Chain A
Amino acid sequence: MTDDAPAPPHLAQLNVGTLRFPLGDPRMADFVALLDPVNALADATPGFVWRLVEEGADDATGLRPAGADVIVNLSVWESAEALWDFVYRSAHLDTMRRRREWFRRHVDAHAVLWWIPAGHVPTVEEALERLALLRGGGPSPRAFTFNSPYTADEAAEAAAIGRGGVGGVGGVGRPGLEGVGRTGLEEVS
């Protein structure tokens, strides 16, 4: 817009997964073995910005802010395309293919996306708030999914109008197959 345009916004994502068995259980061994290589793959993916890591650990699986058997995955990306290519177009997809071996099915949404200013580090509280927003009111410019996406511009507009409570924005920028699909990221970190 202006000559002095701010850095483009980043995309934050949270997904939660309810473990079928404790991480130490042999039935979770394959999943646990994949954590390091898949996290390393994420870190090396073009467009990756940041991911939540427990202090003194390699990942966030020890943090349980959403329940004792619920692991969370919180990360930041430069663009929706970068995140999509990592989640669905890399070796990460092969872990998602096996998600039912390791995770319980969620009745509610278990993954949420939202735009943040570049440089902002989202907190777990903020992330869970966005998930609650998605669960409570469906996709909106403040909390959305890959199948019901919003652009950063739409999010900024909605914020300017007044904290997302305005109707009628929902139809903008959605891909085809209206009404089909409500899920985005799945629960494998």
Chain B
Amino acid sequence: MDDIDAVASLRDPVRRRLYEFVAAQGREVGRNEAAEAAGVQRSLAAFHLDRLVEVGLLEVGSRRLTGRSGPGAGRPAKVYRRSAAERGVSVPPRDYRTAAALMAEAAEAAGLDREVQDAARRRGRALRGPGGSCGDLGGLAEVLAARGYDPVLEEAVGEADGVVGGRGDGEGDGEGHGEGHGGTGARERRAVLRMRNCPFHVVAELFPPLVCGMNLALLEGLVEGSDGVRVRMDPRPGWCCVVAETSKTKDR
């Protein structure tokens, strides 16, 4: 299957809704759930989901969906998740991936981490909105979504009641959002923005410290001037290496 056919298969609006729903979940999705989300019949959803598997945009597995295992549970249901394969179309043909990999190889060999990070930070600053700020975490999420990071907003509950502030590498060393810590008996809640997608995936896998360092610097430049938002490295398997976070205190 050519990339262009795979991409063209998303032209069908129902199919595209199904694909985007499955991709956004970051986990395996069953037919019923996908059909509901796309607002179509289960059989139609099944047809399109299987078509997306055929063109390589989704992968299929089978498992017993949680919550549906009772006695006499039937055979495992088909489940779908986004394929790890990349599809790209450029008309006319361009090959920036090879160019990026070659330049990364040279930068790695020359030990240019800091030069690359400096350039990335400058680029990040240039990508900020007209006001010189992406705004709050929600504003940043929009910017990151537009850049292909697939951000997911999570609310992480901090330390237990009465314990305010973070530990070494977390909250305590971040300047600029100290004012929210006043309330005693408040439970600290920190909104965390994680990103499902690494826009630089191929080169990041080849040269992780170089490219992930570049990515962090880019995002650092981007959030400079944002109110109480900061980014830091927090790599986890299957996710972008960077998280953005803010800190706020809420009564409970």
Contact = CB atoms under 8 A, between A and B. Distances in A.
Interface string B100-113: 01100100111101
B39 to A, nearest CB: 37
Nearest to B234: A91
Given A93-B235, A186-B209, A180 B114 contact: no
B240 to A, nearest CB: 11
Given A147-B206, A181-B207, A90 B235 contact: yes
B206 A181 contact: yes
A89 interface: yes
B142 to A, nearest CB: 26
Q: Which bucket holds chain A's interface residue count?
A: 20 to 34
B235 A177 contact: no
A177 B109 CA distance: 17
B241 A93 contact: yes
B208 interface: yes
Contacts of B108: 181, 183
Nearest to B97: A177
Interface string A63-89: 000000000000000000000010111
B209 A89 contact: no
Nearest to A90: B235
B202 interface: yes
Contacts of B208: 87-88, 93, 96
Interface string B152-192: 00000000000000000100000000000000000000000
A174 to B, nearest CB: 12
A120 interface: no
B213 interface: yes
B236 interface: yes
A181 B109 CA distance: 9
Contact of B209 (A93, A180, A182): A93
Contacts of A88: 208-209, 212, 235
Nearest to B168: A37
B233 A177 contact: no
Contacts of A97: 113, 209, 212-213, 216, 233
Nearest to B208: A88
B235 A89 contact: yes
Nearest to A176: B202
A130 B232 CA distance: 36
A94 interface: yes
B237 interface: yes
B233 A93 contact: yes
Contacts of A135: none
A177 B95 CA distance: 12
Given A89-B241, A93-B212, A176-B202, 6 more contacts: A96-B209, A97-B216, A97-B233, A177-B202, A181-B206, A183-B109
19 contacts: A89-B237, A90-B235, A90-B236, A91-B169, A91-B234, A93-B233, A94-B233, A94-B235, A97-B209, A100-B113, A105-B110, A177-B98, A180-B98, A180-B105, A181-B101, A181-B105, A181-B207, A182-B105, A183-B109
Q: When A and B form their complex, which 6 residue pairs have the shortest distance between CB atoms, in order from nearest?
A: A105-B111, A96-B209, A97-B213, A88-B208, A94-B233, A180-B101
Interface of A: 85, 87-91, 93-94, 96-97, 99-100, 105, 147, 175-177, 180-183, 186, 188
